[in-house]
Structure formats: C-alpha cells, structure tokens
C-alpha cells in the first residue's frame, strides 16, 4: 500500500512554461485534493474532486486546472507558470467526504520553483 504518491518531487520551471503534477492513491478513496503551502500561509486548497467525474474550485484556483482521470488519479496543471506559483504542492485523498468528517491522507509533496 503506497498511499498517496506524487510526481515529480522537485521541478524548476521558467516563467510561461507549463507542467502537470501527477497524483495517485491506492486506498479506493472517493475524494481527492490539491493544496499549496507557502511559508507562513499554511495550506490553501486549490481544487478538489469529491468523486470521480467531478471537480470544484477551492480557495486559490486561478492559474491552475485539474483533471480527475479516474478514481485513482487527480492531476494539477499549470498552463503558464508564474513566479507567484513557486510553492510546495500537496495532493491528498479522503474516503468519502471532503468535510472534516473524514481524515485526509497526504502525499509527500512537490517542490516547484518558477524562475
């Protein structure tokens, strides 16, 4: 059981480049999430998917797109990277609900630097 896996672990982009962060979970969870973590800002929700086939915006969705490819996989795409998107990105999943009723399980994170 790998839990939640993320690729890549590190990435450096130039302004304007695009990239996709990959996330997969093997716990048969319905809900999946993408967060970003900046120093002194805690975690902020970018997008989430409460179930396969649905996606919703979180607190900071601008500049990002997501795809819930199937129940296991949830990807985050930066179409035109900006320095303000330099951050650590975490993927998470939970069994049934996006609310505090359910525990979230986190991946190890992707450190992204945009020059």
Partner 1 sequence: SQQGEEDPQALSIQEGENATMNCSYKTSINNLQWYRQNSGRGLVHLILIRSNEREKHSGRLRVTLDTSKKSSSLLITASRAADTASYFCATDPSGYSTLTFGKGTMLLVSP
Q: Which residues pair with 4 in a beta bridge?
A: 25
Rounded to whole angstroms, what are the CA distances from 37 to 41, 42, 62, 80, 82?
7, 6, 15, 19, 16
**Residue 98 touching partner 1 (CB under 8 A):** yes
Contact with partner 1 (CB under 8 A) among 1, 28, 62, 101: 101
Which residue from 93, 55, 62 is spatially nearest to 78, judged by alpha carbons? 62
Pick out residues in 4-63 that bind partner 1 (CB under 8 A). Answer: 4, 33, 35, 40-45, 48, 58-59
Residues that bind partner 1 (CB under 8 A): 4, 33, 35, 40-45, 48, 58-59, 90, 92, 98-101, 103-109
């Amino acid at each position: 059981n790998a839990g939640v896996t993320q690729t890549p672990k590190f990435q450096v982009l130039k302004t304007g480049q695009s990239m996709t962060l990959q996330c997969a979970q093997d716990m048969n969870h319905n809900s999946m999430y993408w967060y970003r973590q900046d120093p002194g800002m805690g975690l902020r929700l970018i997008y989430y998917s409460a179930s396969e086939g649905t996606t919703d915006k979180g607190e900071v969705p601008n500049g990002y797109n997501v795809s819930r490819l199937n129940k296991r996989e949830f990807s985050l795409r930066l179409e035109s990277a900006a320095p303000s998107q330099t951050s650590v990105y975490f993927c998470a999943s939970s069994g049934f609900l996006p609310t505090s009723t359910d525990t979230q399980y986190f991946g190890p994170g992707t450190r992204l630097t945009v020059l």
